[in-house]
């Protein structure tokens, strides 16, 4: 069956612009997670959604970052007024339920120039 | 910030050697410990999800053990093959967030 998909695969943007990253989880998975991997760093947890519950946003690195999940399925991570330090690979994952085995998408490589 | 540590950071072994790595995590408020394999140019792939103290999991030549009381998990690879070359990540689930270690990079030399 279809795995987790993310779009775009690559995004180059100018500093100060807003960007939207999309994640399509595996059908039926109720939990969805966003991570960031900056160059030379490990995976940094950003936020997760369980079903239609409101997410805990405390892991988001700044108030320029926001995420939503519509209808318990597709999720969008939005970064406003991008900065060079936002350059990273953004990974999305989904699982049957929170805390269970995660299936990762291919990632979006964001470059802020 | 919660500390999840992995050692060694990197490892080179000869084909056929057996090897193991360690993941250390807090011994309190344990929910689950995950192991993932991350090959270059691919996405992380789940190996094991471990939830009970004393858990042992096996998948082919790869196995893992869990000690929640002392806060560590070992991943073992028996008879390493070049296709085992990857970064192995552990992730600690708090019930509300995953904390990943920085990984052990394994290179298997043919």
User: Phi and psi for B51 in degrees, rounded to 5?
Assistant: -125, -20
Element (H, E) at A19: strand A19-24
Question: Averaged over B58-86, what is the pLDDT?
Answer: 97
DSSP track, A51-94: TTSPPP-TTSSSTTEEEEEGGGS-EEEEESS--GGG-EEEEEEE
How far from chain centre, in Å, is Cα B12? 16
Question: Averaged over B28-44, what is the pLDDT?
Answer: 93
Question: Can you give the pLDDT at residue A51?
Answer: 87
Rounded Cα distance between A74 and A92, Å, is 11
Closest by CA to B77, choosing from B100, B61, B54, B60, is: B61
Q: Do A102 and B46 touch (CB under 8 A)?
A: yes
B47 pLDDT exceeds 70? yes
Rounded Cα distance between B48 and B23, Å, is 13
Contact indicator for B77, B37 with CB cutoff of 8 Å: no
Question: Averaged over B78-100, what is the pLDDT?
Answer: 95
* A97–chain B nearest CA distance, Å: 11
Question: Can you give the pLDDT at residue A1?
Answer: 58
Q: Do B93 and A99 touch (CB under 8 A)?
A: yes
B28 pLDDT exceeds 80? yes
| Cα→Cα distances B39→B63, B67, B93, Å | 18, 27, 22
pLDDT digits (tens, 9 = 90+) for B63-73: 999 999 999 99
Q: A45 is written with which tokens?
A: 């947890």
Over chain A (113 residues), the average pLDDT of each successive run of 10 is 91 98 95 93 92 86 94 92 97 94 97 97
Closest chain A residue to B40, measured at CA? A106
> CB within 8 A of B21, min separation 6: which ones?
B6, B7, B8, B11, B74, B75, B88, B104, B106
Q: Do A43 and B100 touch (CB under 8 A)?
A: yes
Question: Averaged over B23-50, what is the pLDDT?
Answer: 94
pLDDT digits (tens, 9 = 90+) for A17-39: 999 999 999 999 999 999 999 98
């Amino acid at each position: 069956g279809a795995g987790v998909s993310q779009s775009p695969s690559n995004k180059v943007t100018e500093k100060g612009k807003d960007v939207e990253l999309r994640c399509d989880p595996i059908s039926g998975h109720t939990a969805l997670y966003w991570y960031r991997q900056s160059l030379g760093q490990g995976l940094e947890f950003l936020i997760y959604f369980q079903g239609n519950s409101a997410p805990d946003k405390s892991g988001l690195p700044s108030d320029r970052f926001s995420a939503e999940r519509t209808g318990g399925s597709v999720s969008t991570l939005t970064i406003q007024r991008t900065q060079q330090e936002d350059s990273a690979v953004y990974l999305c994952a989904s699982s049957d339920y929170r805390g269970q085995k995660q299936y990762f998408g291919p990632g979006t490589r964001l470059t802020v120039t | 910030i919660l500390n999840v540590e992995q050692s060694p950071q990197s490892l080179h072994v000869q084909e056929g050697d057996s090897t193991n790595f360690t993941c250390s995590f807090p011994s309190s408020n344990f929910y689950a410990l995950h192991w993932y394999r991350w090959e270059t140019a691919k996405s992380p792939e789940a190996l094991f999800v471990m939830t009970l103290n004393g858990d042992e999991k096996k998948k082919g030549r790869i196995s893992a053990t869990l000690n929640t009381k002392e806060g560590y998990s070992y991943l073992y690879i028996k008879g390493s093959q070049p296709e085992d070359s990857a970064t192995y990540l552990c992730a600690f689930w708090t019930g509300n967030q995953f904390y990943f270690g920085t990984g052990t990079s394994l290179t298997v030399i043919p």
